[in-house]
A and B are shown apart, each in its own frame.
Chain A
Amino acid sequence: QKEVEQNSGPLSVPEGAIASLNCTYSDRGSQSFFWYRQYSGKSPELIMFIYSNGDKEDGRFTAQLNKASQYVSLLIRDSQPSDSATYLCAVKGGYNKLIFGAGTRLAVHP
């Protein structure tokens, strides 16, 4: 079992809709969770982090964490074509290294 799992997609949503990206992790002791956005040919860009159970909102983005279910998600409201990218879920491992999922490709169509 991979440490961090994501559906590779593509997830296709119409402009203005809510995009829901999901991630599960295997280490029950994990404490810190991150969402990075990666445009094609570019490096990952940090968009959200969450440490506590529940929801964390930042603009159009909401991260949700459920440690009991070992599940973290990212919701993107009012999706725009510019949101089309690969979204990487990462879990903090020992010494602050990040353990990444394979990423979910999101396509927002006009």
Chain B
Amino acid sequence: GAGVSQSPSNKVTEKGKDVELRCDPISGHTALYWYRQSLGQGLEFLIYFQGNSAPDKSGLPSDRFSAERTGGSVSTLTIQRTQQEDSAVYLCASSLVGGFGTGLSYEQYFGPGTRLTVT
């Protein structure tokens, strides 16, 4: 079956512009996560969706960052007024279920990522 897909694969934008990054999770996966990987910070959690709700937004670095998920499927991460420090690879992951349990259903599978460069 298809894995997690993300688009675009690469995005170059000018400082101050808004960008939208898209994630299409594995079919049937109810939980969706956004992470960011940058040279200085490693791989860091941004936001978690269960269905269309986001019970954990604790990793969003500023109010310039927002995300939504519709139809329990596709998610969009929006960065407004981009800054150079936003340059990173944005990774999306999904799991069959989310929450506080353990087991195979909670395993997260990553998409290929979107490399964002802010010039």
A and B: bona fide binding partners: yes
Chain A to chain B contacts (Cβ below 8 Å), 26 pairs: A31-B102, A32-B106, A43-B110, A44-B43, A45-B110, A49-B107, A51-B102, A88-B43, A92-B102, A93-B45, A94-B56, A94-B100, A95-B48, A95-B50, A95-B55, A95-B56, A96-B31, A96-B95, A96-B99, A96-B100, A96-B108, A97-B48, A98-B33, A98-B108, A100-B42, A100-B43
Is B91 part of the binding interface, using a Cβ–Cβ cutoff of 8 Å? yes
Q: A44-B43, A101-B42 are in contact. Are A96 and B112 (CB under 8 A)?
A: no
B53 to chain A, nearest CB (A): 11
Q: How many A-B residue pairs have CB under 8 A?
A: 60
Q: Mark B83-115, 1 if CB is under 8 A from A, else 0.
A: 000000001010100111010001111111100
Chain A: interface secondary structure? mixed
Known contacts A96-B48, A98-B108, A101-B42: does B100 contact A44 (CB below 8 Å)? no
B-contact 0/1 string along A52-96, CB 8 Å cutoff: 000000000000000000000000000000000000100011111
Residue B68 at the chain A interface, CB threshold 8 Å: no
Q: Is B20 an interface residue (CB 8 A)?
A: no
Once bound together, how far apart are the Cα atoms of A101 and B108, in whole Å? 16
Extra pairs beyond A43-B111, A44-B110, A96-B31 (4, CB < 8 Å): A43-B110, A96-B98, A98-B33, A100-B42
**Residues of chain A within 8 A of B99, CB atoms compared:** 95-96
Number of A residues near B (Cβ < 8 Å) is 24
User: What residues make up the interface of A, taking CB atoms closer than 8 Å to B?
Assistant: 31-32, 34, 36, 42-46, 49, 51, 88, 92-103
The residue in B35, B99, B110 that gathers the most chain A C-beta atoms within 10 A of its C-beta is: B110
Return chain B residues, CB-CB under 8 Å to A102: 42
**How far does the alpha carbon of A103 sit from the alpha carbon of B111 in the complex, in Å?**
19
A98 to B102, alpha carbons, bound, how many Å? 13
Complex contacts, B35 vs chain A, CB 8 Å: 98
